[in-house]
């Protein structure tokens, strides 16, 4: 019997224990599996067949055996962003949130596989969204280091920067962050122990566009702006407040920063380096699960924000296009009247 890939690496006992929480669902061609806009509390693994993914009634992709979809339903109550229906007879293995939480409470190893698969899917979607935004010309960078004039402009706007290591309360900062809102304190304490506290002066670059990412940050005090380079000019695309976590995507992806994060005023941040990241992401027990779930929440927030900005832009483009068509129609009507009068 075929099983989802998230079972790979499990021993026979763990496989049997996990299987009991899954429901095998055979779907006929044309049958809807996920409906856009509904709040989902389950994940589906495609074992055979093919699903069509639609958003706003338009086909946006297809998935086949090995794919996982709806996985965010295991971690939060949020509306589905797309619909899925079977293109051909399809077999799914479905895991409800209650089943995932039972497995997690017993430290079952399949939970680590699920969480890592979710992180990989989110990074892929963030990359796709970034490419789409860039194709629309919204000023999103392409992971290329800005020219020297960009850094001079940032210094004029913010300041010259500077950092010093200080004694900070990483535990307090993480517990106040919404990412760790429901996390067990002992696990958060072990995560916090891997962070260093850094005091930043105005104008300090915590992340630099085009550079290889080697750290993530949690902001405790102050403000940090997210800026991108537009022909040598800093362009603010977001502003981060205390409790925000940032700098994680390039760590998860293993690539270059897509934007710069600059301290607007004096900012106290807690920094986690590459070694700490790798240790937490690959930790198989509760500490690792707590950290992975926090990162999943952060990536979900980033995806939601990016999609909202895309929707606003596309709506504006549609309205501008509609106005242009209306103006053209009025001009043609006026021209027709003049011809008739002439």
pLDDT tens sequence across 91-147: 999 999 999 999 999 999 999 999 999 998 888 888 777 676 666 655 554 566 777
- Are both 52 and 193 inside the same structural domain? no
Give the tens place of pLDDT for each residue, 200-230. 999 999 999 888 889 999 999 999 999 888 8
The enclosing H or E element of 116 equals helix 110-135
* pLDDT tens by residue, 250-290: 888 887 888 899 998 889 999 999 999 999 999 999 999 99
Mean pLDDT (the chain) is 85
Angle between helices 286-341 and 110-135 (to 10 degrees): 30
**Same-domain status, 221 and 287:** yes
Indicate the helix (H) or strand (E) that contains 176: helix 170-176
On whether residue 252 sits in a domain, the answer given is: yes
* One domain for residues 206 and 299: yes
CA distance 44 to 114: 11
Q: Which of 18-27, 60-69, 101-110, 159-168 has the lowest mean pLDDT?
A: 159-168
Q: Would the CA dihedral through 218, 224, 226, 230 be positive or negative?
A: negative
Are residues 189 and 261 both part of a single domain?
A: yes
Q: Classify residue 43 by burial, with Cβ atoms within 10 Å: 0-12, 13-18, 19+.
A: buried
Higher pLDDT, 242 or 141: 242
Task: Verify that 81 and 228 share a domain, yes or no.
Answer: no
Residue 96 lies in a domain: yes
Q: Which of 222, 202, 197 is nearest to 161 (CA)?
A: 202
- Assess whether 164 and 257 both reside in one domain: yes
Domain of 235: which CATH number? 2.60.120.10
Q: What is the pLDDT of residue 1?
A: 56
Provide the domain limits for residue 266: 139-303
- Determine, yes or no, domain membership for 117: no
SS3 165: strand
Give yes or no for residue 3 having a pLDDT over 80. yes
Q: How many CB atoms lie within 10 A of CB 162?
A: 12
Buried b (16+ CB within 10 A) or exposed e, 267-279: bbbbbbeeebbeb
pLDDT surpassing 50 at residue 340: no
The count of structural domains within the chain is 2
**Is the residue at 62 inside a domain?**
yes
Domain assignment present for residue 188? The answer is yes
């Amino acid at each position: 019997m075929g099983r989802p890939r998230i079972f790979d690496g499990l021993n026979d006992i763990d496989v049997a224990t996990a299987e009991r929480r899954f429901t095998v669902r055979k779907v006929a061609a044309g049958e809807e599996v996920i409906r856009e806009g509904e709040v989902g509390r389950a994940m589906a693994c495609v074992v055979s067949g093919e699903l069509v993914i639609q958003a706003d009634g338009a086909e946006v992709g297809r998935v086949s055996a090995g794919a996982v979809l709806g996985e965010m339903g295991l971690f939060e109550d949020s509306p589905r962003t797309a619909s899925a229906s079977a293109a051909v007879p399809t077999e799914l293995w479905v895991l409800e949130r209650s089943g995932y939480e039972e497995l997690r409470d017993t430290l079952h190893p399949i939970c680590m596989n699920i969480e890592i698969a979710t992180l990989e899917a989110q990074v892929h979607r963030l990359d796709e969204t970034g490419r789409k935004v860039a194709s629309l010309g919204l000023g999103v960078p392409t992971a290329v280091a800005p020219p020297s004039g960009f850094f001079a402009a940032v210094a004029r706007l913010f300041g010259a920067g500077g950092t010093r290591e200080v004694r900070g309360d990483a535990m307090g900062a993480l517990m106040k962050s919404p990412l760790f809102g429901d996390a067990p304190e002992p696990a958060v304490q072990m995560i916090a122990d891997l962070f260093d506290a850094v005091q930043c002066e105005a104008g300090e670059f915590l992340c630099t566009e085009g550079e290889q990412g080697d750290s993530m940050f949690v902001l405790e005090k102050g403000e940090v702006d997210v800026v991108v380079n537009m022909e040598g000019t800093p362009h603010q695309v977001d502003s981060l407040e205390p409790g925000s976590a940032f700098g994680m995507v390039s760590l998860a992806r293993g690539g270059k920063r897509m934007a710069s994060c600059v301290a607007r005023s004096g900012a106290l941040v807690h920094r986690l380096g590459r070694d700490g990241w790798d240790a937490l992401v690959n930790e198989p027990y509760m500490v690792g699960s707590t950290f992975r779930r926090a990162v999943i929440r952060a990536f979900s927030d980033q995806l939601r924000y990016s999609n909202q900005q895309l929707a606003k832009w596309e709506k504006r483009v549609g309205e501008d296009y509609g106005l242009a068509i209306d103006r053209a129609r009025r001009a043609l009507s006026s021209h027709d009247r003049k011809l008739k009068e002439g």
